[in-house]
Amino acid sequence: WTFYLLYIIQYQTVRYDILPLSTISRNRLNTVKRKILVLDLDETLIHSHHDGVLRPTVRPGTPPDFILKVVIDKHPVRFFVHKRPHVDFFLEVVSQWYELVVFTASMEIYGSAVADKLDNNKGFLKRRYYRQHCTLDSGSYIKDLSVVHDDLSSIVILDNSPGAYRSHPGKTRPDFRAV
C-alpha cells in the first residue's frame, strides 16, 4: 500500500470596499481632537525573523512580505518581515479615526525601516517611538505613554506584550491574533 498526502491550499483574494467618511463624520472629526492609537510593531502588526532564526509563528516556506537589511553593531542583518493579514487595510481605515503612533521596544534602525514599509508613503505613521524612549525595568522595556501625550485619557495602546505597558494597564487592548 502506498499513501500520498497532498496539501491543497486555496487562496482567495479578499477585497474590502473602503467607504469614505460621511460629510457629517468628517466634520465632527475635524472639530474634536482625535484619540491617539499607539501601535506596537513586532508580533502586533508584523512578525519578523532574522538570518538563521525561524519564528514558530510563521509557517516554514512562507515568503516574507519584505526583507530589510540593516547594520546592527557593525554587523549586517537581514530581517524577513511578514505583515499581519489585512494590516494594510486596518491601518488605512483606523487612520481616518485615530492619530496613529508607532511605539516599539525595537532599535530605531529596525523599527523605522519597518514603519516606513508599513506606511508606504501614505503619511499615517509619522510619529514614532523606539527603544530609546522606553524605560528599562528588571530587564524589560516599558513603554511610557506620557512621552506620546501628556493627556493619557486620549491614548489607547494595541500591544501583544503586557509587560511593555504595565505602567498603564487601563489604556490597553490585547492584540488581535494571527489567523
Mean model confidence pLDDT for the chain: 84
Q: Per-residue pLDDT for 86 more than 60?
A: yes
Please return the burial class of 14, using the count of CB atoms within 10 Å of its CB with bins 0-12, 13-18 and 19+.
exposed
User: Tens digit of pLDDT for each residue in 59-74?
Assistant: 777 899 999 999 989 9
Contact 171, 165 (CB under 8 A): yes
Reported confidence tier of residue 147, pLDDT bands at 50, 70, 90: very high
Reported confidence tier of residue 48, pLDDT bands at 50, 70, 90: very high
In the chain the first and final C-alpha atoms are separated, in Å, by 36
Q: Which residue has the cell 487562496?
A: 11
The structural domain count of the chain equals 1
| Half-sphere CA count of 178, side-chain side, radius 13 A | 13
Q: Would you call 8 helix, strand, or coil by DSSP?
A: coil
Q: Per-residue pLDDT for 43 more than 80?
A: yes
Q: Per-residue pLDDT for 77 more than 60?
A: yes
Domain holding 129: CATH number? Answer: 3.40.50.1000
Share of the chain above pLDDT 70, in %: 81
Residue 30 lies in a domain: yes
Active-site positions read 40, 42
Structure confidence at residue 3 (pLDDT): 53
User: Where do runs of H (alpha helix) occur along 47-133?
Assistant: 87-94, 108-119
Domain coverage including residue 129:
23-158
User: Tens digit of pLDDT for each residue in 154-176?
Assistant: 888 898 887 777 776 665 555 44
Residue 82 lies in a domain: yes
Residue 177 lies in a domain: no
Residue 105 lies in a domain: yes
Q: Measure the CA–CA gap between 108 and 71, rounded to whole angstroms.
A: 11
User: Tens digit of pLDDT for each residue in 118-135?
Assistant: 999 999 999 999 999 999
Q: Measure the CA–CA gap between 109 and 76, rounded to whole angstroms.
A: 12
Statement: the pTM of the whole predicted model exceeds 0.95: no
Structure confidence at residue 159 (pLDDT): 87
Residue 148 lies in a domain: yes
Q: Is the dihedral of CA 161, 162, 164, 169 positive or negative?
A: positive
Structure confidence at residue 130 (pLDDT): 97
Residue 165 lies in a domain: no
Reported confidence tier of residue 34, pLDDT bands at 50, 70, 90: confident
Q: Per-residue pLDDT for 8 more than 70?
A: no
Residue 138 lies in a domain: yes
Q: Measure the CA–CA gap between 40 and 58, rounded to whole angstroms.
A: 18
Residue 110 lies in a domain: yes
Q: Would you call 67 helix, strand, or coil by DSSP?
A: strand
Structure confidence at residue 58 (pLDDT): 74
Q: Measure the CA–CA gap between 34 and 156, rounded to whole angstroms.
A: 11
